[in-house]
Amino acid sequence: MDHSTSLSAPARRTRRIVIAGLAILGAAIAAFGPFGTVLRMLSMPLRRPGWHVFFGTFNGVALITVAVLPLAASTVWALARRRRAAGVTSAWRMSLAEVGIVYGTMPWVWIIMLPGDEAGAVVSLVPLRDLLAMDTGQVVGNLLVFAALGFLAPLRFAALASVPRVLALAAGCSVLVETAQYVLRLDRVSSVDDVLLNTAGAGLAALASRRWWRATATASSDGPRSAPVPGR
């Protein structure tokens, strides 16, 4: 008997979501170069250990992100187990989405909140001007900032099971980040093109997971509802 046919529909759906998420992770890694280059990048902070190297550099953040992957997986397992014990439907999908949103978004936000190399805070409000000067890595990086949010938020929250709503959420988050860069004087360019790319990345990710969240858009995202009390 084929094992895949013995899985329940929610289990098969969760497995497909995991596979799609791993594919996105692989694409993100590939964007930064060959596998050997990625390994050298991750090992670089270990050669010069220090709090600034680990927490204040791109390589350090990347290393920490990889190091906490087992913790993220354990958190998904613990949340799903607790929900299953409480009788919550789609426990694995909900837990995976919640942890995935945090794990897939925070490292990117952390990176873009690191101090830059501009001469003071710079604001660029002309659309497409900065985009034409970006290299491929910058474009891909900006697209991935809120990709996890766009991919997983509609799966977790029924109210966000809509591409326009995901776009609005991602745009709002991006504006907050760009504003924080300026207010905190991080020597970065607060650019409207960054907002456009961040938003587009979330929208594309939402489209990639649409086949799954459309099937569950009408389901409750907060667990089973109580039965209505019969009228007297």
pLDDT recorded at residue 14: 67
Q: How many CB atoms lie within 10 A of CB 186?
A: 18
Estimate the crossing angle of helix 192-208 against helix 136-144, to 10 degrees.
60
- Between 24-33, 106-115, 162-171, the lowest mean confidence (pLDDT) is in 24-33
Q: Are strands 189-191 and 122-124 parallel, antiparallel or unpaired?
A: parallel
pLDDT recorded at residue 19: 67
pLDDT recorded at residue 157: 93
Q: How far does Cα 132 stand from its chain's mean position?
A: 25
Q: What is the dihedral of CA 120, 123, 127, 129, to 10 degrees?
A: -20
- Between 19-28, 92-101, 108-117, 199-208, the lowest mean confidence (pLDDT) is in 19-28
Burial class (CB in 10 A: 0-12, 13-18, 19+), 142: buried
Which has more pLDDT, 10 or 202?
A: 202
pLDDT recorded at residue 232: 44
Average pLDDT of the chain? 82
Q: How far apart are CA 34 and CA 19, in angstroms?
A: 21
Q: What is the mean pLDDT of residues 138-163?
A: 94
34: pLDDT strictly greater than 60: no
Structure tokens at 179: 């504003």
pLDDT recorded at residue 179: 96
Q: Please provide the distance, in angstroms rounded to a whole number, between the alpha carbons at the two ends of the chain.
A: 52
pTM (2 decimals)? 0.76
Q: How far apart are CA 59 and CA 71, in angstroms?
A: 20
Q: How far apart are CA 47 and CA 36, in angstroms?
A: 17
pLDDT tens figures, 73-125: 999 999 999 999 999 988 999 999 999 999 999 999 999 999 988 877 889 99
Residue with tokens 């099971």, as numbered in its chain: 161
28: pLDDT strictly greater than 70: no
Burial class (CB in 10 A: 0-12, 13-18, 19+), 21: buried
201: pLDDT strictly greater than 90: yes
